[in-house]
Structure 1
């Protein structure tokens, strides 16, 4: 049975095509407008055809640190907190900023210094914590943005907002937008690939964070697993040969075409395009995921965990291999940065698990001549408070969520190295060059050659875009 939308769509196409050709059922023929629309929906070349402007970056590797890394223990050095350790956060500093339900229950908000030492590194003189010795060595390749801020104070809406431009689930993710607009540079691999570290714990992650939203499903992120079978259900079932599978897919394709002609649902064609991609991936995935050709010095660069499938280090190495194969958007998620209590021990472990591999990825890309056209991004969904959540001691404390300011870094792909933006002496408010989430998204799209205001998709009568009706390109950080 037709639903209302399918009936109106079919009636409109049939009437229009019938008037033009005199054939009442033209909408159901192979060369009908519906077929052309379906082909556009699954176009792996991208709907733009070519970027709006010359692209500085051909691909993105986004190292998402889920949970909100504390900027005060990593990049945003605040000696004023050493002086005021244990004192109350002044009301005039807090202003009218909203607290989480956890902080709102506290009778006091004692300022907490970082227990970790900071030193300046590189020609930029950027302050980097002792927790990040490997990142400190590549600091002159990084643009450290200290003035990021967001509208969201809780994890799920904050990460959804950063990844999709809206705090409520349902919108396309950044990678899906780029896949839709720019397509692929390698038809044998998905243009958007996702990996989640096998460390577990922390805030939960949902596949909608790399979903296609209302875009055709061919543009959703494809998740790679750690281990011998990186893409689930990709291999032929036991007892089914490649020849058998080809015959099955040929017949299935015929059935799908019949269904599309009957229902005019472009998602049928999009799903078929996914099956076609899966067939090509059967040959391309083993080559991309086989680390046996990597020399020992590469594993030494990324660290001992690089040989353990599913670890953050192994995923960083995989990201470099995918970049070599021209995958357009590669997203890594690493959980466990949500240190409400016992922060010193927790963040020390997190940095140990990620610092070497993150720095190695930038170094490896640079050595291979790939960094110039690969944009690497590191950061979480928000920052942490300058006051302690819960009991404060000289060596132990926790920090609550803080959307007012946090730090991210970017490298390569048209980014100018250096330090951008500043926070106040308390590390609570932005004092110079604020960068909103929408500005970050607009800048990312700009580096990929896309005008964020022009890449849109019409859905339910309205044209949507990643940045909604906001966002400006941060030109000061462009090379």
Structure 2
């Protein structure tokens, strides 16, 4: 046998360690392919992958934009119970000048009072307790509370034209998250998922993180509808990550659950889902 044949034959012989190593890589590749699905093989002209192979469709309605998309992800922070904009970005020198004066009727314009203020005899104007300075090339007013933000003011966008006519917290917060004071509309994250789609049909495109809050007795709660999908498909609802040991509920089995018990539970659940589907014909139950 020639030396070349000997080398080729030896390269075909796998020892136990090599076999297990190569097998593990192969199995891992299969798992990765199952997670990413056809996204591995569907690359668009703009170099981005589109996710349009899911059974319920995870391709965004804005798949073909009039310009190449540059944004890969959106981090949206909502500071519930944070300081007023009058203390941060919205400089109102006239409000400070007229501090203590009664609210003019022309401003209130017959608006009803809240339950918290219905017992007040008068409604004095209150200005900011902090000073404002101009910063950046455009001389943007920034409160002294934000000295580091003031250094990068030219790199951010501050929108002051948004407002709500809601007089209470809950409808105002609902409006801020969904664009409507009435519950039932899709949240901003759901609209982004609906419009842009998801890179992966098996992982959520919209995730939610909550802080523990201050623990004060009068704290305003945040309801799950604030990151809900509304009338959109449930595929676009926010998936809340918890700070506990199980970030996402119902993914791990309770302690002591055997494979047989779990199988029986899943079979019964499938029967109930099928029964519900026969009654309602809701495609999301399938």
TM-score in terms of structure 2 length: 0.66
CA distance in 2: counterparts of 1:179 and 1:238, whole angstroms: 35
Unaligned runs of 5+ in 1: 1-38, 270-479
Q: Deviations over 1:272-325 (max 9, x none)?
A: xxxxxxxxxxxxxxxxxxxxxxxxxxxxxxxxxxxxxxxxxxxxxxxxxxxxxx
Alignment of 1:178-257 (within 5 A): 178-199=192-213, 200-201=215-216, 202-239=219-256
2:134 match: secondary structure? strand
CA distance in 1: counterparts of 2:105 and 2:241, whole angstroms: 47
| Structure 1 residue 109, shift from structure 2 partner | 2.6
Alignment of 1:115-126 (within 5 A): 115-126=129-140
2:165 paired with 1:151: yes
RMSD between aligned residues: 3.4
Aligned to 1:134: 148
| Structure 1 residue 206, shift from structure 2 partner | 0.8
Q: Deviations over 1:40-78 (max 9, x none)?
A: 8732234x2714543453432211122464122111222
Q: Deviations over 1:327-378 (max 9, x none)?
A: xxxxxxxxxxxxxxxxxxxxxxxxxxxxxxxxxxxxxxxxxxxxxxxxxxxx
Alignment of 1:409-420 (within 5 A): none
Aligned to 1:295: none
CA distance in 2: counterparts of 1:159 and 1:145, whole angstroms: 17
CA distance in 1: counterparts of 2:88 and 2:276, whole angstroms: 53
TM-score in terms of structure 1 length: 0.41
Aligned to 1:50: 63
| Structure 1 residue 184, shift from structure 2 partner | 0.9
1:128 match: secondary structure? strand
CA distance in 2: counterparts of 1:90 and 1:185, whole angstroms: 53
Kindly name which structure, 1 or 2, has the bigger radius of gyration based on alpha carbons.
2
Alignment of 1:293-442 (within 5 A): none
| Structure 1 residue 161, shift from structure 2 partner | 2.0
CA distance in 1: counterparts of 2:272 and 2:57, whole angstroms: 17
**Among candidates 84, 98, 115, match of residue 70 of structure 1:** 84
Relative to total residues, which structure has the larger strand share, 1 or 2? 1
CA distance in 2: counterparts of 1:190 and 1:251, whole angstroms: 25
Aligned to 1:96: 109
Unaligned runs of 5+ in 2: 1-52
2:178 paired with 1:164: yes
Aligned to 2:4: none
| Structure 1 residue 156, shift from structure 2 partner | 1.4
CA distance in 1: counterparts of 2:170 and 2:198, whole angstroms: 29
| Displacement over 6 Å in runs of 4+ | 243-250
| Structure 1 residue 207, shift from structure 2 partner | 0.6
| Structure 1 residue 143, shift from structure 2 partner | 1.0
CA distance in 1: counterparts of 2:96 and 2:256, whole angstroms: 67
1:136 match: secondary structure? helix
